Chain A
């Protein structure tokens, strides 16, 4: 058996990490956090020129036709570097939605441009507070037009188009709208993690291309697929926060000794490690299920998501604690990870939602335990 990434995938991971290190992604995160720009265009362009937006897109649509395992290793590195780019919206969500559900005509129109980075996409699903259920979607599609609102849509003020969930007489489906459409009003938000932009969108009779009209199961599948990728971002961030805490503790002296020699600190960091290892192992199983389109995906994705969310929260908050007062200053980078950890825990649904998804999926699947 082989439950590891291949040498090629690991080499790709190293390349992405080198690029993000060279580009000084942490500093870029802070620049976006503090500035007016909504994302880091230079960093985005570097990722695009490395081919990272083309990974899962087949060659016939201008992509490089690799698989989701490659996307998992990229996600982990972007998470480690808390990169201020719209990658998750455009690649995990919008690209996957088109790949899964769109007609060849739509694929031909959008995938090559997504691959080349010429356009950025996003996924607009939640409408108000609380996780959207099939019966709670109010956005409405009729006669080629959509009306309704979507709340806190990631990158909506950056992206060129959005895949929007909306109901019609056939059920809840997915539709593609052009975000430059004058019938769509986009309001940027002040957010918990300003290194990643979010906006409310208000759609009034905007033209929409139909991907799928009766698509609730497809929506759930896209969320499961992206949950694995979000989880990899989360363990990347968690590991970076754990290492920050460890490195700081080793160099910080108090009571005449390195604080890393105190069990109160060592055990805290050992607990970060434990939670990270459990999450990492669950992520690997999620990666396997994702790349093999396995029937275990709903359970595997929820398991990865719940444990990765927990790990990133623990590592990012205890990283601040390990740093003492300085950890809670604007100047130190600890809060960048703390903010990102909370943001990722909210994107695509919070912990309670994924715990519920996990237990429901186990109930449905007669899983061999």
Chain B
């Protein structure tokens, strides 16, 4: 056991770190705005103006990376990457995380749409779409969930009808991150309502500026509006933009979701370090909170989770370094970190006591407490992730299903009133 890089890894790390030091400093000094760099997508952008500034900066930095061959580095060179190994990708991410890099806009494209395009698009489409995606020139969104289909994604009802070489789409999507600034989208639809639920789906990519698309922001409980409702009225998509066979969209969607679950990492916000500092700085019944044994016990529990996640990540990196495919251990990350975030934020408010009601100065805790519920739901709810652990990691059987091998139009979906 050791935490040292192999000689090749060390060489790569130095190369990455040198490039970052040199170029990020230059980027920072040239930055148009003197404001702090962009917020990550977990924090709400308060105004549309904030957001467009952040987007502009993120695109600028992404282009600098792309031109030097550091964007989507694990992708093939032909599509804008540098054929990097998985461990090189991790090393790059570790080095890049040492800087406050603007971001939060490209993850869906590069993390989810990109891999699906690589598997299912034609060579010509890949050459056309992947490099601008890597460069950050084109932003992608994912049009999956619907009002009646969230965790049970295969229950979607957005309708796709084929006439000649053109599909017509009608319906509604929801929870689409960044739809309002996206250029392209990946979309799963129902092309056959008589087929069983998982057999009647068809998957596309489409231009988000197509006529008939209407985007309405959803205001979240934390005041942000990172998500949208997207309405489709007679939107046309050429059949050439279909990914996978007609009726085989579920398989394509699963590929995307697998990538989503790999991409979803730690919930960002207050963690052990913040609550430990807060407990040192604030009194609790006449002594620093950190001296109180009830506080110390909670701190110990959170440190164990914090450290457990960190060391689980190290095990994953270690597997990558050996050239192994990491196991499904990573599936625990979001469940643990999102719940820890919520509990730490809540306890932070307890330590602050009545003064904590005031948002001024306490936004970190207010923001995390209001952000955590969404993180526990987005990208696979706690409950769905527990199913995945039980079924895919531990090999336990699926729940008994009432919706398999039944024509979709006979299955109840969404909310039913009595």
Do A and B pair up? The answer is yes
Interface flag for A358 (CB, 8 Å): yes
Q: Is the CB of B318 within 8 A of A358?
A: no
Task: Give the total of A residues in contact with B, Cβ under 8 Å.
Answer: 48
Residues of B377-400 contacting chain A, CB below 8 A: 383, 385-387, 389-391, 393-394, 396-400
Please give 5 more A-B residue pairs, beta carbons under 8 A apart, in addition to A278-B309, A284-B315: A260-B390, A267-B383, A277-B329, A285-B307, A354-B300
Min CB distance, A265 to chain B, in Å?
8
A352 to B296, CA, bound (A): 10
**Residues of chain B contacted by A356 (CB below 8 angstroms):** 293, 296, 300
User: Are A281 and B311 within 8 A (Cβ)?
Assistant: yes
- Give the segment of A2-10, A119-127, A143-151 that binds chain B: A2-10
Contacts of A355 in B (CB 8 A): 296-297, 300-301
Q: Is A310 part of the contact surface with B, judged by Cβ < 8 Å?
A: yes
Interface residue ranges of A265-288 to B (CB < 8 Å): 265-267, 269-271, 273-274, 277-279, 281-282, 284-285, 287-288
Of B1-9, B21-29, B30-38, the one contacting chain A is: B1-9
Interface mask (A294-310 → B, CB under 8 Å = 1, otherwise 0): 00000000110011001
Cα A354 to Cα B300 in complex, Å, equals 9
User: Known: A69-B1, A279-B308. Contact between A266 and B386, CB under 8 A?
Assistant: yes
Ranked nearest first, the 9 interchain pairs of A and B with the lowest CB-CB distance are A278-B308, A281-B311, A266-B390, A355-B300, A3-B318, A270-B386, A270-B389, A281-B312, A307-B304
Instruction: Give the B interface residue count (CB, 8 A).
Output: 51
> Is A133 part of the binding interface, using a Cβ–Cβ cutoff of 8 Å?
no
Let me know if A250 and B296 touch, CB within 8 A. no
Chain A proximity of B325: nearest CB distance (Å): 14
Given A278-B312, A355-B296, CB of A362 within 8 Å of CB of B276:
yes
Q: Cα distance A246–B3 when bound, in Å? A: 34
- Chain B residue with minimal CB distance to A355? B300
Residue of A whose beta carbon sits closest to that of B314: A3
Closest chain A CB from B404 CB (angstroms): 13
Q: Which residues of A contact B385 (CB under 8 A)?
A: 270
A266 CB to nearest chain B CB (Å): 4
Chain B residues with Cβ below 8 Å from A288 are: 1-3
Interface residues of A (CB under 8 A from B): 1-5, 69, 246, 249-250, 257-258, 260-263, 265-267, 269-271, 273-274, 277-279, 281-282, 284-285, 287-288, 291-292, 302-303, 306-307, 310, 352, 354-356, 358-359, 362-363, 369
List the B residue with the shortest CB-CB distance to A310.
B304
A258 and B397 contact, CB distance less than 8 A: yes
Mark contacts of B276-298 with chain A using CB atoms, 8 A cut-off: 1 yes-contact digit, 0 otherwise.
10000000000000100100110
Contact partners of A1 in chain B: CB under 8 A:
2-5, 9, 314, 317-318, 321
- For B297, what are the chain A residues with a Cβ–Cβ distance below 8 Å? 352, 355
Decide if B312 touches A266 in the complex (CB within 8 Å): no
Q: A250-B397, A278-B308 are in contact. Are A273 and B303 (CB under 8 A)?
A: no
Q: A282 near B397 (CB under 8 angstroms)?
A: no
Complex Cα–Cα for A79 and B272 (A)? 30
Is the CB–CB distance between A257 and B400 below 8 Å? yes
What residues on A are CB-neighbors of B336 within 8 Å? 274, 278
- Given the known interface contacts A273-B389, A356-B296, the answer about A2 and B2 at a Cβ–Cβ threshold of 8 Å is yes
B1→A267 contact, CB < 8 A: no
Q: Residue on B with the closest CB to A4? A: B318
CB-contacts of B137-153 with A (<8 A) = none
A165: min CB distance to chain B, Å = 25
Q: Spell out B's residues near A (CB within 8 Å).
A: 1-5, 9, 272-273, 276, 290, 293, 296-297, 299-301, 303-312, 314-315, 317-319, 321-322, 329, 332, 335-336, 383, 385-387, 389-391, 393-394, 396-400
Closest to A263 in B: B399
Q: Is the CB of A269 within 8 A of B304?
A: no
Pull 22 A–B residue pairs with CB atoms less than 8 Å apart, ordered by A.
A1-B4, A2-B322, A4-B1, A250-B397, A260-B396, A261-B399, A261-B400, A263-B386, A266-B386, A269-B394, A270-B389, A270-B394, A273-B393, A274-B336, A278-B336, A284-B314, A285-B314, A355-B297, A355-B300, A356-B296, A358-B304, A359-B299
Question: CB < 8 Å: which of A2, A69, A362 contacts B318?
Answer: A2
B396 to chain A, nearest CB (A): 5
Q: How far is the CA of A263 from the CA of B310 in the complex (A)?
A: 28
Listed residue (B301, B390, B400) with the most chain A CB atoms within 10 angstroms of its CB: B390
- The chain A residue with its CB closest to the CB of B385 is A270
Residues of A within 8 A of B321 (CB): 1-2
**Nearest residue, chain A, Cβ from B396:** A260
A312 to chain B, nearest CB (A): 14
Query: Which of the residues B272, B314, B394 comes within 8 Å of A273, measured between beta carbons?
Result: B394
Query: How far is the CB of A286 from the nearest CB of chain B, in Å?
Result: 9
Assembly CA distance A282 to B312 (angstroms):
8
Partner of B1, one of A3, A270, A274: A3
Chain B nearest CB from A270 CB (Å) reads 4
* B319→A4 contact, CB < 8 A: yes
Chain B's nearest CB lies how many Å from the CB of A251?
A: 11
Q: Are A282 and B304 neighbours in the complex by a CB distance under 8 Å?
A: yes
In angstroms, Cα B394 to Cα A302, docked, is 28
A140 and B293 CA atoms in complex are apart in Å by: 31
In the bound complex, how far is the Cα of B308 from the Cα of A359, in angstroms?
Answer: 16
With A267-B383, A271-B386 as contacts: A306 and B304 at CB distance below 8 Å: yes
Chain A residues with CB below 8 A from B387, complex form: 263, 266-267, 270
Smallest Cβ distance from B385 to chain A, in angstroms? 8
- Least CB distance from B331 to A in Å reads 9
Q: Which residue of A lies closest to B389 (CB)?
A: A270
Q: How far apart are B323's CB and chain A's nearest CB, in angstroms?
A: 12
Report which residue of A250, A257, A369 has the largest number of chain B beta carbons within 10 angstroms of its beta carbon.
A369
On whether the beta carbons of A359 and B303 are closer than 8 Å, the reply is yes
Cβ contact of B317, chosen from A3, A279, A362, cutoff 8 A: A3
A138 to B198, CA, bound (A): 72
